Structure formats: structure tokens, C-alpha cells
Structure 1
Amino acid sequence: MKYKYKTSIYILGVLLLVISILDKIYWIYMCTKYTDFEETKAAYLSLFPEFIANAFFLTIIDIIVSGIAAIIFYESKKTGYLKRPSKVLMIVSLILCGWSIFSLM
């Protein structure tokens, strides 16, 4: 990672991680609001535009987003740029990625 772009790439990683975290928070919120799975799923999908309002597709997007964030934080840690925060954020990204992969099963 070139020094000139480290901050921009790191901010991109943080934004991708925030997107993944917000997706999980929204799903958990919908789970507390509704008791029936189909109602929960319909309420969750109603947030998204119709062309991506598919649970499988959204899960794949979440896996990709958290995976890219984990790679960005791994590369930042490897180059020594914000080493400790990068390690923590990489672990959080990998946990969220694993959670999404597990939800596909």
C-alpha cells in the first residue's frame, strides 16, 4: 500500500465495515420488533431498493463488503499503518464475514 493512499484506503475499509455493522444492527432490530420470521424478513428487505431486495443477494454483498474490509485492515496491519486499530478492525471484519457465511448455511 503506497503511503499516499493509505489514509484513503483505510477510510474506505472503515466505511465498508460500518456498512456491514449497520446491516447486522438493522437485522437484529427487525428481529426484536417482529416474532414471525417471514414478517421480519419482509420488514428487513423493505429497506432496500427492489432490485437488490433479495436475502441471498444481500448476504453475498455483506460477505464481500466485510471481506474487503478485512483485507484492507490486514494490509494496513502488515505495512504498520495504524497497526493496533487495524488488527482489531480486521478481527471484527472477519467475525462479521463469518457470521454472514454461516447465515447462508
Structure 2
Amino acid sequence: MTTLTLTYCSRCDVFDRHMTDDCTRLALHWSADLAGLMANNGVHSRLQLAHRLEPLGVARSTVYRGLDDEWRGTPSLILIAAMCRAFGVAPGDVVVAR
């Protein structure tokens, strides 16, 4: 499984803005509850998710690159933001950092 690694500055509470030795390296992974979130919102496939996110300007290829058929894959910031907006959830409901 591939992951998205971002630099997080706990002093400033931002990602990818500071590149100092004091910043912690975190990797984002799709939440274990992602399948449940999708099912609760009537989304049962990547194609359905792509159709749901299309009005938000997310290309189908972005969905297919970020998720496989079992709701695993590499989170992208565009996909995370669109899913949060579409489903009215916080980023912590979609991805976890570890």
C-alpha cells in the first residue's frame, strides 16, 4: 500500500509549510471506516463516488487513482477535501495520520 507523506508542523498546526528538523513526518491512510461512510451515503463503487464528486470538479481519474475497489489506495488532498465536502464530514472521518 502506498501512502501520502506530509510534513506537519505541530508548532504552527499546518502541513507542508515548514521543513525543519522539528517537524514530524506523518503518513495519511484511508480510514478503516471508509467503506461504512461510503455505504451510509449510498456510494457502493468508485464509479458512484466519481459521479458524486464530479459536480465538485473532481475527475474520475482522481477517484480511480486514489482508491481501489476495496476502498484502499493513496489519499490525495483533492480527493480528501472533496469527500469531506460531499459527505459533510471532517478529514479525520476520511483519513488517519500515523
The TM-score, its normalising length taken from structure 2, stands at: 0.29
Larger Rg: 1
Instruction: Name the one with the larger helix percent.
Output: 1
